[in-house]
Structure 1
Amino acid sequence: MRIFIFYSNTIRTDGNFKNIYYSGRLDIAINSIIHAFFVSNGLRKNIRFDLYLNGKPVPPRLIRIESDINTPWSKKDISTLLSISLKKYNKKNIKNPFPGIYVDKIDFFDLLDEYKNNGKNIYLLDKDGEFIENIKIENPVFIIGDFLGIPKDIKKKIDSDVIKISLGDINYFSSQVIVILNYYLDKMNFERDIYDTSYKFIYRE
Protein backbone atom coordinates (compact mmCIF):
# COMPACT_ATOMS: atom_id res chain seq x y z
CA MET A 1 0.00 0.00 0.00
CA ARG A 2 1.14 3.55 -0.77
CA ILE A 3 0.68 5.59 2.40
CA PHE A 4 0.77 9.37 2.61
CA ILE A 5 0.46 11.41 5.80
CA PHE A 6 -0.48 15.00 5.10
CA TYR A 7 0.09 17.22 8.13
CA SER A 8 -2.09 20.33 8.23
CA ASN A 9 -1.41 23.03 10.81
CA THR A 10 -4.50 25.07 9.99
CA ILE A 11 -7.45 23.14 8.49
CA ARG A 12 -10.53 23.46 10.70
CA THR A 13 -11.42 20.36 12.69
CA ASP A 14 -15.14 21.08 13.03
CA GLY A 15 -15.91 20.61 9.34
CA ASN A 16 -17.29 24.12 8.88
CA PHE A 17 -15.83 24.71 5.45
CA LYS A 18 -17.81 27.69 4.22
CA ASN A 19 -15.06 28.57 1.79
CA ILE A 20 -12.13 26.25 1.14
CA TYR A 21 -9.67 29.15 0.93
CA TYR A 22 -10.68 30.45 4.37
CA SER A 23 -11.01 27.11 6.15
CA GLY A 24 -7.34 26.72 6.99
CA ARG A 25 -6.14 26.19 3.41
CA LEU A 26 -8.32 23.17 2.78
CA ASP A 27 -7.61 23.71 -0.91
CA ILE A 28 -4.05 22.41 -0.44
CA ALA A 29 -5.29 19.16 1.07
CA ILE A 30 -7.96 18.72 -1.60
CA ASN A 31 -5.44 19.07 -4.41
CA SER A 32 -3.14 16.61 -2.65
CA ILE A 33 -5.94 14.07 -2.23
CA ILE A 34 -6.87 14.38 -5.91
CA HIS A 35 -3.30 13.73 -6.99
CA ALA A 36 -2.90 10.86 -4.55
CA PHE A 37 -5.88 8.90 -5.84
CA PHE A 38 -6.98 10.01 -9.29
CA VAL A 39 -5.49 9.41 -12.71
CA SER A 40 -7.11 9.94 -16.10
CA ASN A 41 -10.23 7.73 -16.17
CA GLY A 42 -9.02 5.84 -13.15
CA LEU A 43 -8.69 5.62 -9.39
CA ARG A 44 -5.53 4.23 -7.88
CA LYS A 45 -5.89 1.11 -5.76
CA ASN A 46 -3.85 0.49 -2.60
CA ILE A 47 -3.64 4.15 -1.55
CA ARG A 48 -4.04 5.36 2.01
CA PHE A 49 -4.12 9.09 2.67
CA ASP A 50 -3.96 10.14 6.32
CA LEU A 51 -5.13 13.73 6.56
CA TYR A 52 -3.89 14.86 9.97
CA LEU A 53 -5.62 18.04 11.08
CA ASN A 54 -4.28 20.27 13.83
CA GLY A 55 -6.42 23.36 13.28
CA LYS A 56 -9.10 24.93 15.46
CA PRO A 57 -11.35 24.34 17.31
CA VAL A 58 -10.98 20.66 18.39
CA PRO A 59 -7.56 19.35 17.30
CA PRO A 60 -6.32 16.86 16.50
CA ARG A 61 -8.41 14.93 13.99
CA LEU A 62 -7.34 12.21 11.60
CA ILE A 63 -9.30 11.57 8.41
CA ARG A 64 -8.05 8.35 6.83
CA ILE A 65 -9.02 7.83 3.21
CA GLU A 66 -8.41 4.47 1.57
CA SER A 67 -8.94 3.44 -2.03
CA ASP A 68 -12.53 2.27 -2.37
CA ILE A 69 -14.51 2.35 -5.60
CA ASN A 70 -17.66 2.83 -3.49
CA THR A 71 -16.53 6.07 -1.83
CA PRO A 72 -19.16 8.65 -2.83
CA TRP A 73 -16.76 11.27 -4.07
CA SER A 74 -15.67 13.12 -7.13
CA LYS A 75 -12.80 15.48 -7.78
CA LYS A 76 -15.29 18.34 -7.61
CA ASP A 77 -16.78 17.61 -4.20
CA ILE A 78 -14.08 16.38 -1.82
CA SER A 79 -14.70 19.36 0.48
CA THR A 80 -18.25 18.22 1.25
CA LEU A 81 -17.12 14.65 1.90
CA LEU A 82 -14.50 15.82 4.41
CA SER A 83 -16.89 18.25 6.06
CA ILE A 84 -19.64 15.68 6.59
CA SER A 85 -17.14 13.11 7.85
CA LEU A 86 -15.81 15.47 10.52
CA LYS A 87 -19.27 16.56 11.61
CA LYS A 88 -20.52 12.99 11.94
CA TYR A 89 -17.54 12.11 14.09
CA ASN A 90 -17.66 15.25 16.24
CA LYS A 91 -21.42 15.07 16.86
CA LYS A 92 -22.16 11.33 16.91
CA ASN A 93 -18.72 9.68 17.17
CA ILE A 94 -19.26 7.98 13.80
CA LYS A 95 -15.81 6.75 12.80
CA ASN A 96 -16.67 5.23 9.42
CA PRO A 97 -19.08 7.73 7.84
CA PHE A 98 -18.56 6.52 4.25
CA PRO A 99 -16.93 3.57 2.50
CA GLY A 100 -13.18 4.11 2.60
CA ILE A 101 -13.38 7.04 5.06
CA TYR A 102 -12.37 6.75 8.72
CA VAL A 103 -12.21 9.52 11.32
CA ASP A 104 -10.60 9.47 14.75
CA LYS A 105 -8.72 11.50 17.34
CA ILE A 106 -5.15 10.26 17.63
CA ASP A 107 -1.83 11.69 18.74
CA PHE A 108 0.57 12.24 15.85
CA PHE A 109 3.34 10.28 17.53
CA ASP A 110 0.98 7.37 18.20
CA LEU A 111 0.09 7.38 14.51
CA LEU A 112 3.75 7.06 13.56
CA ASP A 113 4.29 4.34 16.18
CA GLU A 114 1.40 2.40 14.65
CA TYR A 115 3.20 2.32 11.32
CA LYS A 116 6.63 1.61 12.81
CA ASN A 117 5.23 -1.33 14.75
CA ASN A 118 3.86 -2.71 11.49
CA GLY A 119 7.27 -2.69 9.85
CA LYS A 120 6.87 0.50 7.83
CA ASN A 121 9.69 2.90 7.02
CA ILE A 122 8.70 6.51 7.57
CA TYR A 123 10.07 9.00 5.05
CA LEU A 124 9.86 12.70 5.87
CA LEU A 125 9.95 15.04 2.88
CA ASP A 126 12.57 17.61 3.84
CA LYS A 127 14.68 19.96 1.73
CA ASP A 128 17.77 18.88 3.67
CA GLY A 129 17.07 15.19 3.22
CA GLU A 130 18.82 12.65 1.01
CA PHE A 131 17.87 12.87 -2.66
CA ILE A 132 15.22 10.23 -3.25
CA GLU A 133 17.07 8.56 -6.12
CA ASN A 134 20.07 7.91 -3.89
CA ILE A 135 18.23 5.66 -1.44
CA LYS A 136 16.13 2.51 -1.61
CA ILE A 137 12.45 3.06 -0.85
CA GLU A 138 10.92 0.12 1.03
CA ASN A 139 7.59 -0.27 2.86
CA PRO A 140 7.06 3.48 2.66
CA VAL A 141 4.99 5.92 4.63
CA PHE A 142 5.56 9.47 3.37
CA ILE A 143 5.04 12.52 5.60
CA ILE A 144 4.23 15.69 3.69
CA GLY A 145 3.72 19.08 5.31
CA ASP A 146 1.34 21.84 4.34
CA PHE A 147 2.42 25.37 3.37
CA LEU A 148 3.76 25.91 6.91
CA GLY A 149 5.64 22.63 7.01
CA ILE A 150 6.01 20.24 9.93
CA PRO A 151 6.33 22.14 13.25
CA LYS A 152 9.91 22.32 14.53
CA ASP A 153 9.12 20.64 17.85
CA ILE A 154 7.57 17.67 16.07
CA LYS A 155 10.46 17.39 13.61
CA LYS A 156 12.91 17.38 16.49
CA LYS A 157 11.01 14.68 18.37
CA ILE A 158 10.67 12.33 15.37
CA ASP A 159 14.16 12.98 13.99
CA SER A 160 15.52 9.56 14.97
CA ASP A 161 12.42 7.71 13.75
CA VAL A 162 12.23 8.99 10.18
CA ILE A 163 14.31 8.93 7.03
CA LYS A 164 14.58 12.43 5.56
CA ILE A 165 14.31 12.52 1.79
CA SER A 166 14.34 15.32 -0.75
CA LEU A 167 12.99 15.73 -4.27
CA GLY A 168 15.74 18.16 -5.18
CA ASP A 169 16.50 21.84 -4.70
CA ILE A 170 13.09 23.12 -5.86
CA ASN A 171 10.32 23.71 -3.32
CA TYR A 172 7.22 22.07 -4.78
CA PHE A 173 3.59 22.45 -3.75
CA SER A 174 2.37 19.64 -1.50
CA SER A 175 0.15 18.31 -4.28
CA GLN A 176 3.10 18.32 -6.68
CA VAL A 177 5.13 16.31 -4.17
CA ILE A 178 2.35 13.69 -4.23
CA VAL A 179 2.47 13.56 -8.04
CA ILE A 180 6.24 13.11 -8.07
CA LEU A 181 6.12 10.40 -5.40
CA ASN A 182 3.40 8.51 -7.27
CA TYR A 183 5.39 8.78 -10.49
CA TYR A 184 8.51 7.52 -8.73
CA LEU A 185 6.62 4.59 -7.20
CA ASP A 186 5.11 3.82 -10.61
CA LYS A 187 8.64 3.57 -12.00
CA MET A 188 9.42 1.10 -9.21
CA ASN A 189 6.30 -0.92 -10.18
CA PHE A 190 5.16 -0.52 -6.58
CA GLU A 191 1.39 -1.07 -6.12
CA ARG A 192 0.41 0.27 -9.54
CA ASP A 193 -3.10 -1.22 -9.82
CA ILE A 194 -5.89 1.13 -10.90
CA TYR A 195 -9.69 0.96 -10.94
CA ASP A 196 -11.13 1.84 -14.35
CA THR A 197 -13.62 4.67 -13.87
CA SER A 198 -14.12 5.60 -17.53
CA TYR A 199 -17.66 4.20 -17.43
CA LYS A 200 -18.61 6.96 -14.97
CA PHE A 201 -17.69 9.76 -17.35
CA ILE A 202 -19.09 8.80 -20.74
CA TYR A 203 -19.34 11.84 -23.01
CA ARG A 204 -22.62 12.27 -24.85
CA GLU A 205 -23.61 15.09 -27.17
Structure 2
Amino acid sequence: MRNFIFYSNTININGNFNDIHTNRIDIAINSIIHAFFISNGIRKHINFNLFINNSDYRLIKIESNINTPWSKKDILKLLSLSLIKFNKKKIKNPFPGIYVDKIRFIDLLNSYKENNIYLLDRKGEYIEDVEIKNPVFIIGDFLGIPKEIKKEIKDMVIQISLGDINYFSSQVIMILNYYLDRMDYYKDYWDTSYKFKYG
Protein backbone atom coordinates (compact mmCIF):
# COMPACT_ATOMS: atom_id res chain seq x y z
CA MET A 1 0.00 0.00 0.00
CA ARG A 2 1.13 3.54 -0.77
CA ASN A 3 0.47 5.69 2.29
CA PHE A 4 0.50 9.48 2.27
CA ILE A 5 -0.11 11.87 5.16
CA PHE A 6 -0.83 15.44 4.15
CA TYR A 7 -0.58 17.94 7.02
CA SER A 8 -2.77 21.03 6.69
CA ASN A 9 -2.45 24.03 8.99
CA THR A 10 -5.21 26.09 7.41
CA ILE A 11 -8.28 24.10 6.27
CA ASN A 12 -11.47 24.84 8.20
CA ILE A 13 -12.72 21.77 10.03
CA ASN A 14 -16.35 22.94 9.69
CA GLY A 15 -16.49 21.91 6.04
CA ASN A 16 -18.02 25.19 4.91
CA PHE A 17 -15.86 26.00 1.90
CA ASN A 18 -16.87 28.95 -0.26
CA ASP A 19 -14.62 27.93 -3.12
CA ILE A 20 -11.53 25.88 -3.92
CA HIS A 21 -9.20 28.54 -2.48
CA THR A 22 -10.88 28.77 0.95
CA ASN A 23 -8.12 28.40 3.55
CA ARG A 24 -5.90 26.94 0.81
CA ILE A 25 -7.89 23.73 0.50
CA ASP A 26 -6.80 23.81 -3.15
CA ILE A 27 -3.39 22.54 -2.03
CA ALA A 28 -4.94 19.44 -0.45
CA ILE A 29 -7.20 18.87 -3.47
CA ASN A 30 -4.31 19.03 -5.93
CA SER A 31 -2.36 16.63 -3.70
CA ILE A 32 -5.27 14.18 -3.64
CA ILE A 33 -5.53 14.36 -7.44
CA HIS A 34 -1.82 13.56 -7.83
CA ALA A 35 -2.05 10.75 -5.28
CA PHE A 36 -4.93 8.88 -6.94
CA PHE A 37 -5.42 9.95 -10.54
CA ILE A 38 -3.38 9.09 -13.60
CA SER A 39 -4.36 9.63 -17.22
CA ASN A 40 -7.56 7.63 -17.74
CA GLY A 41 -7.08 5.72 -14.51
CA ILE A 42 -7.27 5.67 -10.70
CA ARG A 43 -4.56 4.03 -8.62
CA LYS A 44 -5.73 1.00 -6.61
CA HIS A 45 -3.42 0.93 -3.60
CA ILE A 46 -3.48 4.41 -2.07
CA ASN A 47 -4.21 5.55 1.48
CA PHE A 48 -4.35 9.35 1.65
CA ASN A 49 -4.59 10.82 5.14
CA LEU A 50 -5.63 14.47 5.16
CA PHE A 51 -4.75 15.63 8.66
CA ILE A 52 -6.13 19.04 9.63
CA ASN A 53 -4.78 21.00 12.60
CA ASN A 54 -6.72 24.26 12.71
CA SER A 55 -8.50 25.11 15.99
CA ASP A 56 -9.11 21.36 16.43
CA TYR A 57 -8.05 18.07 14.86
CA ARG A 58 -9.70 16.23 12.02
CA LEU A 59 -8.53 13.33 9.90
CA ILE A 60 -10.06 12.52 6.54
CA LYS A 61 -8.75 9.20 5.32
CA ILE A 62 -9.32 8.36 1.66
CA GLU A 63 -8.70 4.82 0.48
CA SER A 64 -8.67 3.60 -3.10
CA ASN A 65 -12.21 2.54 -3.89
CA ILE A 66 -13.74 2.39 -7.34
CA ASN A 67 -17.12 3.18 -5.75
CA THR A 68 -16.04 6.51 -4.26
CA PRO A 69 -18.42 9.06 -5.82
CA TRP A 70 -15.82 11.43 -7.13
CA SER A 71 -14.00 12.90 -10.04
CA LYS A 72 -11.31 15.55 -10.09
CA LYS A 73 -14.06 18.18 -10.08
CA ASP A 74 -15.95 16.73 -7.10
CA ILE A 75 -13.22 16.51 -4.46
CA LEU A 76 -14.06 19.85 -2.81
CA LYS A 77 -17.70 18.82 -2.36
CA LEU A 78 -16.68 15.37 -1.13
CA LEU A 79 -14.37 16.81 1.56
CA SER A 80 -16.95 19.39 2.58
CA LEU A 81 -19.79 16.90 2.99
CA SER A 82 -17.55 14.41 4.79
CA LEU A 83 -16.60 16.97 7.43
CA ILE A 84 -20.16 18.25 7.81
CA LYS A 85 -21.58 14.73 8.23
CA PHE A 86 -18.98 13.94 10.89
CA ASN A 87 -19.37 17.23 12.77
CA LYS A 88 -23.17 17.14 12.84
CA LYS A 89 -23.96 13.43 13.10
CA LYS A 90 -20.62 11.75 13.93
CA ILE A 91 -20.79 9.79 10.68
CA LYS A 92 -17.30 8.33 10.30
CA ASN A 93 -17.78 6.61 6.93
CA PRO A 94 -19.84 9.12 4.92
CA PHE A 95 -18.94 7.68 1.50
CA PRO A 96 -17.28 4.52 0.17
CA GLY A 97 -13.56 4.78 0.81
CA ILE A 98 -13.88 7.92 2.99
CA TYR A 99 -13.36 7.88 6.77
CA VAL A 100 -13.44 10.86 9.15
CA ASP A 101 -12.32 11.02 12.77
CA LYS A 102 -10.95 13.31 15.44
CA ILE A 103 -7.43 12.11 16.20
CA ARG A 104 -4.10 13.57 17.28
CA PHE A 105 -1.22 13.55 14.83
CA ILE A 106 0.95 11.39 17.09
CA ASP A 107 -1.85 8.80 17.30
CA LEU A 108 -2.13 8.76 13.51
CA LEU A 109 1.57 8.01 13.25
CA ASN A 110 1.28 5.30 15.91
CA SER A 111 -1.30 3.58 13.72
CA TYR A 112 1.52 3.13 11.19
CA LYS A 113 4.09 1.75 13.64
CA GLU A 114 4.62 -1.33 11.42
CA ASN A 115 5.68 0.94 8.56
CA ASN A 116 8.68 3.13 7.88
CA ILE A 117 7.57 6.74 8.20
CA TYR A 118 9.39 9.21 5.96
CA LEU A 119 9.11 12.94 6.58
CA LEU A 120 9.77 15.05 3.50
CA ASP A 121 12.16 17.82 4.52
CA ARG A 122 14.88 19.71 2.63
CA LYS A 123 17.28 18.91 5.47
CA GLY A 124 16.67 15.18 5.10
CA GLU A 125 18.80 12.61 3.35
CA TYR A 126 18.42 12.49 -0.42
CA ILE A 127 15.78 9.93 -1.37
CA GLU A 128 18.07 8.12 -3.81
CA ASP A 129 20.43 7.36 -0.89
CA VAL A 130 17.69 5.89 1.34
CA GLU A 131 16.12 2.45 1.19
CA ILE A 132 12.40 3.05 0.76
CA LYS A 133 10.53 0.12 2.25
CA ASN A 134 6.90 -0.24 3.40
CA PRO A 135 6.58 3.54 3.33
CA VAL A 136 4.37 6.19 4.85
CA PHE A 137 5.21 9.65 3.50
CA ILE A 138 4.46 12.84 5.45
CA ILE A 139 4.06 15.95 3.30
CA GLY A 140 3.36 19.40 4.69
CA ASP A 141 1.30 22.20 3.17
CA PHE A 142 2.83 25.57 2.21
CA LEU A 143 3.44 26.33 5.91
CA GLY A 144 5.19 23.01 6.50
CA ILE A 145 5.08 20.85 9.61
CA PRO A 146 5.06 22.95 12.82
CA LYS A 147 8.32 22.89 14.78
CA GLU A 148 6.67 21.50 17.91
CA ILE A 149 5.21 18.62 15.89
CA LYS A 150 8.58 17.88 14.29
CA LYS A 151 10.14 17.77 17.74
CA GLU A 152 7.44 15.43 19.02
CA ILE A 153 7.82 12.93 16.15
CA LYS A 154 11.56 13.16 15.47
CA ASP A 155 12.27 9.67 16.85
CA MET A 156 9.44 8.15 14.80
CA VAL A 157 10.40 9.38 11.35
CA ILE A 158 13.17 9.23 8.77
CA GLN A 159 13.77 12.62 7.15
CA ILE A 160 14.23 12.46 3.40
CA SER A 161 14.60 15.09 0.70
CA LEU A 162 13.86 15.37 -3.01
CA GLY A 163 16.73 17.80 -3.45
CA ASP A 164 17.39 21.51 -3.01
CA ILE A 165 14.29 22.76 -4.85
CA ASN A 166 11.05 23.54 -3.01
CA TYR A 167 8.25 21.76 -4.88
CA PHE A 168 4.51 22.19 -4.43
CA SER A 169 3.01 19.55 -2.14
CA SER A 170 1.14 18.03 -5.06
CA GLN A 171 4.36 17.85 -7.07
CA VAL A 172 6.07 16.07 -4.18
CA ILE A 173 3.35 13.42 -4.22
CA MET A 174 3.59 13.07 -7.99
CA ILE A 175 7.37 12.58 -7.73
CA LEU A 176 6.94 10.02 -4.95
CA ASN A 177 4.41 8.10 -7.03
CA TYR A 178 6.80 8.15 -9.98
CA TYR A 179 9.59 6.89 -7.71
CA LEU A 180 7.40 4.05 -6.41
CA ASP A 181 6.32 3.23 -9.97
CA ARG A 182 9.98 2.74 -10.84
CA MET A 183 10.20 0.33 -7.92
CA ASP A 184 7.11 -1.56 -9.20
CA TYR A 185 5.58 -0.91 -5.79
CA TYR A 186 1.78 -1.35 -5.94
CA LYS A 187 1.40 0.00 -9.49
CA ASP A 188 -2.08 -1.39 -10.21
CA TYR A 189 -4.86 0.95 -11.25
CA TRP A 190 -8.43 0.91 -12.51
CA ASP A 191 -8.80 1.84 -16.17
CA THR A 192 -11.36 4.65 -16.47
CA SER A 193 -10.85 5.41 -20.16
CA TYR A 194 -14.35 4.07 -20.91
CA LYS A 195 -15.71 7.25 -19.28
CA PHE A 196 -14.02 9.44 -21.86
CA LYS A 197 -14.91 8.07 -25.27
CA TYR A 198 -14.76 10.63 -28.06
CA GLY A 199 -15.97 10.59 -31.63
Same fold (TM over 0.5): yes
The aligned counterpart of 1:122 is 117
Whole-angstrom CA distance in 1 between matches of 2:86 and 2:196: 32
Matched, 1:83 2:61: no
The aligned counterpart of 2:12 is 12
Q: Shift of the alpha carbon at 1:200?
A: 1.5
Q: Secondary structure at the match of 1:141?
A: strand
Q: Secondary structure at the match of 2:154?
A: helix
Identical-pair percentage: 71
Q: Unpaired runs of 5+ in structure 1? A: none
Whole-angstrom CA distance in 1 between matches of 2:2 and 2:198: 31
Correspondence for 2:140 among 133, 138, 145: 145
Counterpart of 2:27 in structure 1: which amino acid?
I
Q: Shift of the alpha carbon at 1:160?
A: 1.1
Matched, 1:104 2:104: no
Q: Shift of the alpha carbon at 1:77?
A: 1.4
Q: Shift of the alpha carbon at 1:87?
A: 0.3
Whole-angstrom CA distance in 2 between matches of 1:121 and 1:100: 23
Counterpart of 1:7 in structure 2: which amino acid?
Y
Whole-angstrom CA distance in 2 between matches of 1:120 and 1:149: 22
Whole-angstrom CA distance in 1 between matches of 2:54 and 2:115: 27
Q: Secondary structure at the match of 2:99?
A: strand
Q: Deviations over 1:100-149 (max 9, x none)?
A: 00000001001101101xx1010000000000000110010000000000
Q: Shift of the alpha carbon at 1:203?
A: 2.1
Count of residues in correspondence between the two structures? 199
Correspondence for 1:165 among 160, 173, 178: 160
Q: Tell me which stretches of 4 or more aligned residues in structure 1 moved more than 2 Å.
A: none
- The correspondence of residues 161-200 of structure 1 with structure 2, limited to 5 A, is 161-200=156-195
The aligned counterpart of 2:51 is 52
Whole-angstrom CA distance in 1 between matches of 2:198 and 2:102: 42
Whole-angstrom CA distance in 2 between matches of 1:86 and 1:110: 20
TM (norm. structure 2) is 0.98
